[in-house]
Amino acid sequence: MSQSTIPAAPLARKDRKETVLHGVTLADDYGWLRDKQNPDVPAYLEAENAYAEAEMAPLGGLREELYQEMLSHIKQTDVSVPFRDGGWWYYTRTEEGLQYAIHCRKRGTEAGPAEDAAEEVILDGNRLAEGHAFFAIGATDITDDGRWLAYTTDTTGFRQYTLHIKDLLTAETLPGEVERVGSVVWAADNRTLFYTVEDEEQKRQYQLWRHALGAEHSSDVLVYQDDDERFNLGAGRTRDGKFIVVEAASHITSECRVLAADQPDGEFALILAREDGHEYSVDHRNGLWFIRTNDRGRNFRLVTAPVNAPGRENWTEQIPHRDTIMLEDVDLFTGFFIACEREDGLPKLRLWRFADEGADATPAGEIAFPEPAYDAHPHVNRIFDAKTYRYGYQSLVTPSSVYEYDVASGGSTLLKQVEIPGGFDRALYASERIHATAPDGVQVPISIIYRRDCRKERENPLYVYGYGSYGYSLPLGFSSSRLSLLDRGVVMAYAHIRGGGDLGKPWHDAGKMLAKRNTFTDFIAAVEHLTAAGYGDPARVAIEGGSAGGLLMGAVTNMRPELFRAVVSHVPFVDVMNTMLDASLPLTVPEYEEWGDPNQEAYFKYMLSYSPYDNLKAASYPSMLVKTSLHDSQVMYWEPAKYVAKLRTLKTDNNRLLLVTNMKAGHGGASGRYDYLKEIALDYAFLLRELGIVNCGQSASAAATA
């Protein structure tokens, strides 16, 4: 299809609404797009989809080529590393042609599954997904005796989960369901289930319920309700299985209640009452609480306290707060614990050994990692009396791997590395870690990967990804899909900007609230440094981000549109002012602790200074692919729809502006693994056309440039 035969871009009608606050008038012409029941809304979204498909039609062959390439790098029939829980070994497997994983188990011993053990299918995602365009399994928990499974499912993408209980002995699912369920946890009696439920307006988990197996759900007992709109509830058990823990947490404050797991009808006891700005979490070993707390610094420390006297006056410090090391978590076992830390932007897994049953532990080394930039994290470790520790490891050039660490010897054994078929050779690729200087002098880490034989100084197309919110550390994981860009000469970079958690909590603090603009200027500095250092052609820079990373995309393209050739923005949070001024929307009130409350004038004016929707102007913008989902529960579909509608009336260029709405999914896009690959193929085809490259040193094909 030639450009001349592509239909005109849809133009949404205007219906002006004005809001006056703090002496400022906010004008919104497209608020009507919020009304999903208005037939004009789906009609507009479908018109945008048709327009985008027409624009992308010349790339049909390239999209299929990319899809087949990505598929060729996936071992479609595969099985995960089994992990032990009680007398069973649990694993998931996939089968070629099936969209979803199959969850299974086998009987076994400490050494592994028995050779003659029959496979039991616990949940078959493919069967459960039948008749649904979207399907996801949420929370799961199995009773200590291995018989009863509680699990939740979402069939819309709105992250609204339904509770089911299955008898694994008979494979029958019990009648009766509960809607809007979050976490699930069984008590030690194998008969009592605790679960949390979200409210209908704010979409936060606010109630804890107790259910007796076999009883009608109408007789379930409300155990606890949290009426503070900032807080979400989550329930689980300590690793030793002795206590049920219910945590109420906002973005900056937490509070834990505990109950002996063998006394499910008892009363939950408070560990420490909530105090604004104080976050803590608890685990249990030999009559002591192990409490990770930020009471003396943003990067957390570890203390212990007697079970019956958890107050601060009884705390004994195990690991002090350190300004340069973030204590992210503690994995506690009978004879040791692993401190999961982050230092210099990289994860560290450090071993502490207990001398006896007491609380005193001493540092005993750390797990060594072979590469200068990587991602490492705890794997599944269900056995409290373990002598080994499983962890996951990967990097930009090393596929996802599972290792088992021997606590006594300090050695690690590779249990499984994801196989990358289709001719992958890691020696062809190189990764680097450099730093850009932000306008205020701060050094911003950047991780880079490229194909060695494609690298040409200042000539490569450059792709830069960013997020930078909620203290989320950007993982340096492996992606087989990414090979389709690398093998065509794209240099790919990941900017670890402020607002994320890459350098601990202070790094997060320096990119939130009234410091949020640092996130955007860090990203711009990263792009400018990459091109100045010769990693890419300044005229061929593509950027990508999603959700809060979509806010980043919108902000930087308003600030410096000339820097970028193409933008891919997934489910972008771009309508900041209208969303944050509407307390009836899910997540708005809790988000005040990340962005600020615009009802306060200082926050209002600061947020208005960067809100992408409100700062669109008559200017030349880069080509954009904006993607959303109709059932998104985190960033409502109307934000990107309004953003595109407004931008169409302002942009002064002829660059492509596409809005693609998945009408059957939520925040994460398509749920099936094959469908998800097709979504990536669309993104990559868009980028490759805009960057003008298909293979190393070759210009794009005629189809790709049509």
d(CA 397, CA 666): 30
Q: Nearest Cα to 226, choosing from 187, 196, 200, 201?
A: 196
d(CA 611, CA 24): 14
Backbone angles phi, psi at 557, to 5 degrees: -75, -25
What SS3 class is residue 132?
coil
Q: Nearest Cα to 204, choosing from 583, 701, 671, 495?
A: 583
Number of H helices, E strands in the chain: 13, 41
Q: Which active-site residues does the annotation give? A: 547, 632, 667
Q: Nearest Cα to 633, choosing from 158, 205, 160?
A: 158
| Neighbour tally for 223: CB within 10 Å | 20
d(CA 448, CA 434): 8
Beta carbons of 404 and 411 less than 8 angstroms apart: no
Strand segments (E) across 425-577: 429-437, 443-451, 462-465, 491-495, 541-546, 566-570
C-alpha distance from residue 583 to each of 586, 639, 658 (Å): 8, 16, 30
Q: Which residue has the tokens 């398509």?
A: 670
Half-sphere exposure of 417 (CA within 13 A, CB side): 13
Q: Which residues contact 191 (CB under 8 A, 6 or more apart)?
A: 143, 212, 213
C-alpha distance from residue 29 to each of 14, 39, 42, 430, 705 (Å): 5, 18, 17, 48, 34
Tokens of 544: 């990508």
Distance, C-alpha 387 to centroid of its chain:
31
Q: Nearest Cα to 337, choosing from 313, 317, 363?
A: 363
DSSP result, 408-428: TT--EEEEEE---TTT--GGG
What SS3 class is residue 8?
coil
d(CA 634, CA 625): 19
Backbone angles phi, psi at 325, to 5 degrees: -130, 125
Tokens of 598: 């615009």
Q: Taking each helix axis from N to C terminus, what angle separates 548-559 and 517-532, rounded to the nearest 10 degrees? A: 70
d(CA 106, CA 121): 9
Per DSSP, 322 falls in state B
DSSP result, 624-673: EEEEEETT-SSS-THHHHHHHHHHHHH--S---EEEEEETT-BTTB--SH
Tell me the torsion sign for CA atoms 451, 456, 461, 465.
positive
Q: Nearest Cα to 295, choosing from 351, 254, 349?
A: 254
Tokens of 679: 């979504």
Alpha-carbon radius of gyration of the chain: 26
Angle subtended at Cα 302 by Cα 298 and Cα 306, rounded to the nearest 5 degrees: 135
Beta carbons of 271 and 247 less than 8 angstroms apart: no
